[in-house]
Structure 1
Amino acid sequence: MTRTTRAARIAAAAVLPAELALVACVAAGVRLPGAVLTAAEAVVSAVLLLEACALHRLYAAARAAGEGRGAALRTAVRAVVPVQVRRLLRHELRAGASLGRWVLRRKHGVRPGDLAAGYTAPQTAMMYGMVFVSVVETFALALLIPWPAVHRAVLVLDVYGIVLLLGLHASCVTRPHVVGADGSLRIRYGALFDLAVPPDAVASVRVDRRYPEGRLVTLSEDGVLDLAVGSQTTVTLELNRPLTFVRPLGARAAARTIRFHADDPRALVTTLRRPA
């Protein structure tokens, strides 16, 4: 990785959150000093110029290596934009699209003959509770904050948070686990986690309720992956070979046993055991 590419990656990771915060303030009507706006514009312009130079060099190198235009552009973007930033942006875009699917009652990636296995029951009440608290907080702050500019900024952030919560839940509802007609299994959590398990990789599957501690995705030293929803899993899947999965922020790891949650684990296990 060249110095230009490394600098572009650092700049993208550092400047993007600051730029989003600045845009939120401006959209909320906050009057920023002219010097702040000028400095911000100068920094953003410098970063964009740096990104453009790095992208052009990488794109030209990929084209010279024989890649097509689309492939060369993807190669350049992957090299310049950190994977964590790409994953977060992709998640937010998919969460927004999931809101539309949720309203239209459509599922993503479910074909005729497939079993769609939901997994949102343990978190639904919590999600709606968080949305309710956020709405109450928004109205309360509207009454308590006497400064209009601060109130508008907080309002923008609160509305964004509410939409993000609804989008996260919608992505989980519209992206269920899928047992394919061919015996394959797709284990998902919204737009954050997606693992395809081919039929020949399944050694055994059983209903097995557990209550693991920790984050959404945890991997033990012996290769046991827990994908918990509401701090619980209901299905244990044993594999006959390790499968590589991608964590929510892009890191890769391998698992030999996968424990995940399904609202109706018996239906999922029965369907998965059925010969294709």
Structure 2
Amino acid sequence: MSAVEPRRRRSARLAAGDLLPVQVRRLLVHELRAAASLGRWVARRKHGVRPGDHAAGYTSPQTALLYVLLCVSVIETIALAFLIPWPAVHLAMLVLDVYGVLQVLGLQAACVTRPHVVGADGSLRIRYGALFDLTVPADAIASARVDRRYPLGRLLTLSDDGVLDLIVAGQTAVTLELNHPVVFTRPLGSTGEARTIRFHADDPRALVGALYPRPAQKAV
């Protein structure tokens, strides 16, 4: 391969970056990660969980809803196969329905394979599938407690006083107080600063316990 070829590839990547808005590029990355998560889901592999880490799932509140959406999409696909007489239209609708099914499965797979992670060093990685990923260093964590709330709003909401809610199916279960603000990135690329983070965990007590392990008792 000539030395010109790598330069051409780099130029092509830079040109694509200039042509595509950052929001579009991030959405494409999210979709690729969700697609890769389908393979991890089948293989039962977790992303970013090392030996000694504590993985905490957060999908329980949304699982039933996502599977209902999946069933509705499948039923719709079957119904349209009988109702639409035009092959071209039917094919287009089939492609869209299959894409929708893969989107739902990819979202669930990404959430299952990308859990929250309490690191062996005391850090906390808070995630939501391929859409949100924030690592809070151990020295930034002031306290963590089980705190069940049912806020209204989208997946991510940031209040004026710096409270970030990462909402799963209308609920959060852990409140994390910080020693200093941390910067986070929203799914489409904009950033914000959080002083308090509220997020969901299926077993919030286990997550908090992993952040504050009890000292080993001496044998008598």
TM-score calculated relative to the size of structure 1? 0.72
Which residue of structure 2 aligns with residue 114 of structure 1?
53
Q: What 5-or-longer segments of structure 1 have no aligned partner?
A: 1-58, 61-68
Q: Which has the higher helix share?
A: 1
| Fraction of identical pairs, as percent | 72
The residue aligned with 2:161 is 222
Aligned ranges for residues 1-276 of structure 1 at < 5 Å?
Answer: 78-274=17-213
Change (3 A) 1:79 1:152: closer
Aligned-partner Cα distance in 2 for 1:93–1:229 = 22
Q: CA 1:75/1:147 → structure 2, altered by over 3 Å: closer, same or farther?
A: closer
CA distance in 1: counterparts of 2:140 and 2:185, whole angstroms: 17
Aligned mates of 2:101, 2:108 — CA distance in 1: 11
Give the 3-state SS of the residue equivalent to 1:249 in structure 2: coil
Q: For the residues of structure 1 that align with 2:36 and 2:153, how far apart are their CA atoms?
A: 29
Instruction: Name the aligned partner's letter for residue 210 of structure 1.
Output: R
Structure 1 runs of 4+ off > 3 angstroms? 72-80
| CA displacement at 1:74 relative to structure 2 | 6.7
Query: Which structure dedicates a bigger proportion of its chain to strand?
Result: 2
What is the CA distance between 1:274 and its match in structure 2?
2.7
Question: Which has the bigger relative contact order, CA under 8 A and spacing at least 6?
Answer: 2
**Separation in 2, partners of 1:73, 1:112:** 39
Larger Rg computed on CA atoms = 1
Residues 256 and 76 of structure 1: CA distance in aligned 2, closer, same or farther (over 3 Å): farther
Q: Deviations over 1:77-104 (max 9, x none)?
A: 5444311011100011001100000000
Higher deviation after alignment, 77-86 or 201-210: 77-86
| CA RMSD, 1 decimal | 2.0
SS at 2:174 equivalent: strand
Kindly provide the CA deviation profile for residues 157-189 of structure 1, in whole angstroms up to 9, marking residues without a partner as x. Answer: 000100111001000000000000000000000
What is the rounded CA distance, in whole Å, between the counterparts of 1:136 and 1:76 in structure 2?
A: 42
Q: Distance in 1 between matches of 2:205 and 2:111?
A: 20
TM-score (norm 2): 0.90
Give deviations 1:132-155, integer Å, cap 9, x for gaps.
000000000111111111111000
Q: How many residues in Structure 1 have an aligned counterpart in Structure 2?
A: 209
> Alpha carbons of 1:145 and 1:74: their partners in 2 closer, same or farther (altered >3 Å)?
closer
